[in-house]
Amino acid sequence: MQAIMNTYGRLPVTFTSGQGSWLTDVDGRRYLDALSGIAVCGLGHAHPAVSAAIREQADKLIHTSNLYSIERQQSLAEALVRVSGMENVFFSNSGAEANEAAIKIARKYGHDRGIHEPVIIVMTKAFHGRTMATLTATGNVKVQEGFGPLLNGFIRVPYMNLDAIRNVIAANPNVVAVMLEPVQGEGGLATASAEYLQGVRTLCDDNKLLMMLDEVQTGNGRTGKYFCFQHYGFMPDVVTTAKGLGNGVPIGACLARGIAAETLQPGNHGSTYGGNPLACAAGLAVVETIEQENLCAHAQLMGEYLRAGFQARLASTGRLKEIRGLGLMIGLVLDKDCPTMMADALKEGLLLNVTSGNVVRLLPPLNVDKAEADQIIEIVSNLIAALS
């Protein structure tokens, strides 16, 4: 029996080290990483700025209680407020926990206004995490199966349908918030339009609801802006992020503004490790590196390069129906399911992933270069063209 609980269908490879866009396994074989630990290692593996920040912080201070002020946590909060335009931050250790904080803010916001059975509108095919509240918010029956009873207080509507949100609000005075991903990372890379997101913003304004964006996967430069909402010219009330924020060091953040920023008061919520100095040192190095190395613009450019490359290579095969996503969050929608694609790519020395059965998901590091992008295009196109 394996010593590790069997919760993942793991592929047969064991990695020992990484550098930039490349990973090395126990046998010394190198792999091109077009997945970045699922949008985590946006700066690539072993980025010197992040490694140095972790080393320096490890020698200085690894942990103090959140009963005291923590200097690195303050600095990262200020940096995130600066790059987002939000007002304040609650730190967690993961994306699910950042979303738990968002859900608690929404519920408390309702409670403070006399709504004691608050309802949060969530989306079909959403993914918000695997804790009980975020599992409830997630729109995938397969990951919920066997874990009931789920929580009360969530109503699901079809993604990208403003009328559906409008109808729920009209029928239910207890709605306090709308929670959604601007691009559904686990949900087939479905990408919300500007009109839809702006429409959700207006509906939230008109009905005094919190607009809460899950940018766990889309944040930290992934879509070509620091946060995805910055493509559209509006501000959400709550934004969550994680993954790319620590470049691999576990950290999550729930950012808020306006009334949402004032909702939680001392004693309402907490976390032993959230905002720990070691994780915040890594986070600060990430935010600064994304700015200094102009990685949002680079991600945008390389996203365009990869999309153009795939169009050119795959148009004639008839296999490629659509390219979804933004920036370096790329979903190649195929005309059929490709259940062995991930394992086949691994044999070719490439890491990628498939969601929704037929969407090949590519999330290379933000600083991927053209030679690496060419290799990704070559290997993936050959695999797609070879599908029977």
Q: Which residues are annotated as a binding site for N(2)-acetyl-L-ornithine?
A: 130, 271
Beta strands 238-241 and 210-214, pairing class: parallel
CB of 351 to ligand PMP, least distance (A): 16
CB of 184 to ligand PMP, least distance (A): 8
What single-letter DSSP state applies at residue 238? E
Kindly list the residues in this chain that would bind ligand PMP in the complex (CB under 6 A): 38, 94-96, 99, 127-129, 181, 185-186, 214, 216-217, 242
Could you tell me how far CA 375 lies from the centroid of its own chain?
Answer: 25
The interaxial angle of helices 370-385 and 295-314, nearest 10 deg, is 30
In the chain, count of helices (H) and strands (E)?
12, 17
Which of residues 38 and 46 has its CB atom nearest to ligand PMP in the complex?
A: 38
CB of 182 to ligand PMP, least distance (A): 10
Distance CA 235, CA 261 (A): 13
- Catalytic residue, candidates 90, 108, 125, 214: 214
Which of residues 127 and 310 has its CB atom nearest to ligand PMP in the complex?
A: 127
Question: Of all residues in this chain, which one has the CB nearest to ligand PMP in the complex?
Answer: 95
CB 191 within 8 A of CB 155: no
CB of 54 to ligand PMP, least distance (A): 19
CB of 254 to ligand PMP, least distance (A): 12
214 noted as active-site residue: yes
Which of residues 40 and 281 has its CB atom nearest to ligand PMP in the complex?
A: 40
CB of 191 to ligand PMP, least distance (A): 13
Of 299, 198, 213, the residue nearest 255 (C-alpha): 213
Which of residues 38 and 115 has its CB atom nearest to ligand PMP in the complex?
A: 38
Which of residues 33 and 181 has its CB atom nearest to ligand PMP in the complex?
A: 181
- Catalytic residue, candidates 127, 154, 229, 310: 127
Position 161, amino acid: N
Which residue shows structure tokens 């490790």? Answer: 273
Residue 68 β-bridge partners: none
- Catalytic residue, candidates 33, 227, 243, 310: 243
* CB neighbour burial string for 285-302, b if at least 16 within 10 angstroms, e if fewer: bbbbbbeebebbebbbeb
Of 95, 45, 36, the residue nearest 352 (C-alpha): 36
Q: Which residues are annotated as a binding site for pyridoxal 5'-phosphate?
A: 95-96, 127, 214-217, 272
Bond prior to 149 in cis (omega within 30° of 0):
yes
Which of residues 100 and 372 has its CB atom nearest to ligand PMP in the complex?
A: 100
Other Cβ atoms within 10 Å of 343 Cβ, number: 11
Task: List, in sequence order, the alpha helices (H) in 85-171.
Answer: 95-112, 132-137, 141-144, 162-171
Q: Which residues are annotated as a binding site?
A: 95-96, 127, 130, 214-217, 271-272
243 noted as active-site residue: yes
Could you tell me how far CA 311 lies from the centroid of its own chain?
Answer: 25
Residue 362 β-bridge partners: 330
Residue 240 CA: distances (Å) to CA of 115, 216, 243, 337 = 23, 6, 10, 31
Residue 45 β-bridge partners: 20
321 noted as active-site residue: no
What residues act catalytically?
Answer: 127, 214, 243
